[in-house]
């Protein structure tokens, strides 16, 4: 079990759901320092890239996350309309750059075609089932969203319900959500049906 350090800011749950022709990302607004809620309405999900074509959510140290968002924005300018390439290039820098290696954050990013998780270990991961989550309540939101994927609920409803469940279980997650959505390409199997 990980030791809780009261001098480190904790908290966040970010979930992304890709279902039908939508991809939705939702994040809570709580920032905690030890047992104190420092802020309840932080905006941890935002649009990036040309015309806001990418949505990104972060968990971890805020300054570190903003550094990564800026770096990703630069990579998206270098590789327009190539989210996977931009993320791989960022992951390479994150893994090899002495300064970036110390950053303590994770990110979920999505565009019309792909959903990806980025970590400081150099990982660029794509979900198998259209659902990913990170942060202190990430496992709760992920579990809830996976169960709800087999229902008739749309992507936004699934993301909101999953976040609500995480907020009821994780003390570092609140119910002040930021939600961003994009139209998504249908997977090949859904196009054929």
Look up 16 and say whether it is catalytic: no
Active-site hit among 12, 13, 16, 115: 12
Phi-psi region of 20 (alpha: psi -120 to 50; beta: other; left: phi over 0): left
For 156, the enclosing helix (H) or strand (E) is: helix 155-169
Give pLDDT tens digits for 163-190.
999 999 999 999 999 999 999 887 665 5
Does 167 appear as a known binding residue?
A: yes
8 Å CB contact between 110 and 25: yes
Angle between helices 138-148 and 155-169 (to 10 degrees): 140
Q: What is the DSSP string of 11-35?
A: --EEEEEEETTEEEEEE---EEETT
2 annotated as ligand-binding? no
pLDDT tens-digit profile of 30-56? 988 878 888 999 999 999 988 899 999
In whole angstroms, what is the distance from residue 41 CA to residue 36 CA? 14
pTM: 0.88
For 144, 148, 188, the CA distances from 141, given in Å and listed in that order, are: 5, 10, 26
- Kindly report the average pLDDT of the chain as a whole number: 87
pLDDT tens sequence across 125-161: 999 899 999 999 999 999 999 999 999 999 999 999 9
Say what the pLDDT of residue 193 is: 47
Whether residue 182 contacts residue 110, with contact meaning beta carbons closer than 8 Å, is answered with: yes
Tell me if 67 is assigned to a ligand binding site.
no
């Amino acid at each position: 079990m990980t030791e809780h350090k009261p001098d480190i800011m904790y908290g966040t749950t970010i979930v992304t759901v890709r279902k039908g022709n939508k991809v939705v990302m939702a994040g809570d607004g709580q920032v905690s320092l030890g047992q104190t809620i420092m802020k309840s309405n932080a905006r941890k999900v935002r649009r990036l890239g040309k015309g806001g074509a990418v949505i990104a959510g972060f968990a971890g140290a805020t300054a570190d996350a903003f550094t990564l968002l800026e770096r990703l924005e630069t990579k998206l300018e270098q590789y327009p309309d190539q989210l996977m390439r931009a993320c791989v290039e960022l992951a390479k820098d994150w893994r090899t750059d002495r300064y970036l290696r110390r950053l303590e954050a994770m990110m979920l990013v999505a565009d019309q075609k792909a959903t990806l998780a980025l970590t400081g270990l150099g990982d660029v991961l794509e979900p198998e089932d259209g659902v990913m989550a990170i942060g202190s309540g990430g496992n709760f939101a992920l579990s809830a969203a996976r169960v709800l994927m087999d229902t008739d609920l749309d992507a936004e409803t699934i993301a909101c319900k999953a976040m609500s469940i995480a907020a009821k279980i994780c003390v570092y997650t609140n119910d002040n959500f930021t939600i961003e959505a994009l139209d998504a390409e249908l997977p090949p199997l859904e196009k054929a049906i």
